[in-house]
Structure 1
Amino acid sequence: MIDIIISENIQGAAVAALQSRFKVVTQPDLWKDPLLLAEKAKNCRALIVRNQTPVTASLIDASAELVVIGRAGVGLDNVDYKHAEQAGIVVSYTPDQNAISVAEIAIGMMLSLARYIPAADADTKKGNWNRQRFVGTELYGKTLGIVGAGKIGYLTARRATAFGMKILAYDPFLSQDNILLSEIQAELVELDDLLSRADVVSCHLPSTPQTVGLLNRERLFRMKPGALFINTSRGKVVVESGLLEALKAGIVGGVALDVREKEPPQIGKLEKLPNVVLLPHIAAFTHEAQDRVTSAICEDVARVLDGKPAVNAVRRTTPMPRVTS
């Protein structure tokens, strides 16, 4: 029997430690072949994935020996964790380990848009010296709107206060008495209020039935004219066609996206605009964050296989008897 299958590119000292104790099959491209994955997973006890492996109800049901799923990252939109819970399977993830890296890149995106850094760099490398063309805007004194004030949203806002930014926050799960919001003197407001007042909007929402398409054309057109929009969370929370319209209308002054509605995306109109910065979903990809993510998920998987509770379980912390029909 295989103890652990790793279906994506996850490596490092923590993986080597697992390999020294368990029978581990590592196939970085296995996620591309769902049928082969299902065949291999039939007799494995643990599955470790990133965000590309669809861990569906059918895959879970076909994996009769599975006791733990490790998601190396914070999002769970590719894992049917509710079905896994019903089947008695532990789902572990890494909710804190990459938060600093994502917050830092969000700040980098703000600076890139406000000071035209990518456009000025590209223009200068062509041999130009257009100083007057790239007159930017300071972040000091501006208002940052945080959409989703969880760990990453909080860390982004905290760093923005060092630039002298004022903070608005939207999060239906928090109250104004939240200690972290109080610490950064954030004003908790409704989403439409935030969009109309913020000079910079930074999105930090999970992908859920409630958030998919939340930032649509209607809402984006409520943004403060010329405001900057940043998304480092999940691409599906933003309707890109509406975002493009808001850009062309001048409602949105600049956009920076690390995530897209469809990944990888096809080249379209967003890719051709000078006031748009696009990255290939790399906000969490620093050496430090990936070391923390890999260590945490490998340790949790090992704990469950050893009969111990997972530290970062989504819900249950110990395997339950498998439920079969």
Structure 2
Amino acid sequence: MSAPINKVLIADDIEQECVDILKQNGIEVTVKTKQTKDELLVTLPQHDAVIVRSATKITAELLAASAGKLKLVGRAGTGVDNIDVPAASANKILVMNTPQANSRSAAELTCTLILSLSRHVPQAAASMKAGKWARKDFMGEEVYGRTLAVLGLGRIGSEVAVRLQAFGMKVIGFDPMVTKEQAEAKNIELLSLEQIWPQADYITVHVPLIKQTENLINKETLAKCKKGVRIINVARGGIVNEVDLVESLNAGHAKGAAFDVFEQEPPTFRELIDHPLVIATPHLGASTIDAQLRVASEIADNIVQYNKGTMLGVLNAREVLN
């Protein structure tokens, strides 16, 4: 184990509980958010650890400049695509995240979007606020008996599956890291992607954005889906090709979509956001009071435990410590 963490920089907005836990355990805390790259080049090397959310990008340049002093980058959340993990490893800097803290909130939002798609809830609400009473315009359908495909059967995907099984949905799934027996234990039929495309009424993605998952749902795969498929993305922008999806919606092949994440944030592709068959929310997956408190306390607790000799949530321990 390396030397203890004595000074922590909090570079993004986070609940006060994080600061309190660190200070209660004798750790000096500096809160300085919305820093430029040049500012970070100065402040990062002055600290043993930095805590970020998704706003601050921890690049190879910043990590190289901080090598020898910075020991740890803590991500208060799950995704680490704003952190150059290979560069951190090369500079012997640990990367830590909190994968469980916002799983329930992200799963609940996914379920909300699926049900909203099936009953046109946002569109009907907007119509009412516009002074209309257009019941016939919003004929929906039950999710009962429909097939939900979950791509990625980790914590969030599995929680989505369990919740929507309670609504009577049949759940099929894909995950190369999950065995058939593990999936069956959750009442999920594990299939290949080629088997999933033509069967699914709803497809929800819960995978990280990596080379293998970028544009996973695209023009070719959408063409293999049954007519009327609905696509949900509460994972990462770029997993679903936004242009290809809009084309499928316009052609009448895809029936609807719900996006909480986008290739660019804030999104610039207005054809997706403004489409009448699309529900769009501004990256709210972890935006609950409960999740915010959990990520704040969990990342702080993990750093405290690190000082006590226990490493929790560290993604590159083998690369750094060997």
> The TM-score by the shorter chain falls in which range?
over 0.9
* Helix, strand or coil at the partner of 1:296: helix
* Correspondence for 2:29: 24
- 1:71: which partner in 2? 75
**Percent identical across equivalent pairs?**
35
> 1:309–1:317: 8 Å Cα contact kept in structure 2?
no
SS at 2:238 equivalent: helix
- Counterpart position of 2:288: 286
Q: How many residues align?
A: 316
**Structure 2 match to 1:40:** 43
- 1:124 maps onto 2:128 in alignment: yes
Matches within 5 A, 1:97-246: 97-178=101-182, 181-246=183-248
CA offsets per residue over residues 78-120 of structure 1, 9 Å max, x none? 1122332333222110111111111111010011110000000
Match in the other structure for 1:312: 313
Contact 1:4–1:48 (CA<8 Å) still a contact in 2? yes
2:220 alignment partner, SS class: helix
Q: Distance in 2 between matches of 1:214 and 1:267?
A: 19
Query: What residue number does 2:15 align with?
Result: 11
Gaps spanning 5+ residues in structure 1: where? none
**Distance (Å, rounded) in 2 between the aligned partners of 1:82 and 1:121:** 46
Kindly provide the CA deviation profile for residues 49-72 of structure 1, in whole angstroms up to 9, marking residues without a partner as x.
112222122211111311111001
Moved more, 106-115 or 311-320: 311-320
* 3-state secondary structure, aligned to 1:42: helix
How far the C-alpha of 1:267 sits from its partner, in A, is 5.1
- CA distance, structure 2, for counterparts of residue 134 and residue 49 of structure 1: 42
**CA deviations over 1:171-229 (Å, ceiling 9, x no partner):** 12222121xx2233211111132121111111111011211122221112222111111
TM-score in terms of structure 2 length: 0.93
Quote the Cα distance in structure 1 between the aligned partners of 2:17 and 2:152. 33
Match of 1:49 among 40, 52, 75: 52
Per the alignment, residue 61 of structure 2 pairs with 58
Provide, for residues 218-253 of structure 1, a one-character-per-residue CA deviation record: whole Å limited to 9, x for no partner: 112222111111000011111111111111111110
Distance in 2 (CA, whole Å) between partners of 1:307 and 1:167 is 42
Ranges in structure 2 where 5+ consecutive residues have no aligned partner: none
Confirm or deny: 8 A CA contact 1:70 1:92 kept in the other structure: yes
Contact kept in structure 2, 1:201 and 1:229, CA below 8 Å: yes
> After the TM superposition, which residues 257-272 of structure 1 pair with which residues of structure 2 at under 5 Å, given as runs?
257-266=259-268, 268-272=270-274
Paired residue secondary structure (2:224): coil
Match in the other structure for 1:301: 303
1:286-324 alpha-carbon deviations (Å, 9 max, x no partner): 1111111111101112333x2522221113189749xxx
- Normalised by the length of structure 1, the TM-score is 0.92
- 1:10–1:28 Cα contact (<8 Å) kept: no
Partner amino acid, structure 2, of 1:199: D
Q: State the alpha-carbon separation in 2 of the partners of residues 319 and 174 from structure 1.
A: 27
Q: 1:69–1:301: 8 Å Cα contact kept in structure 2?
A: no
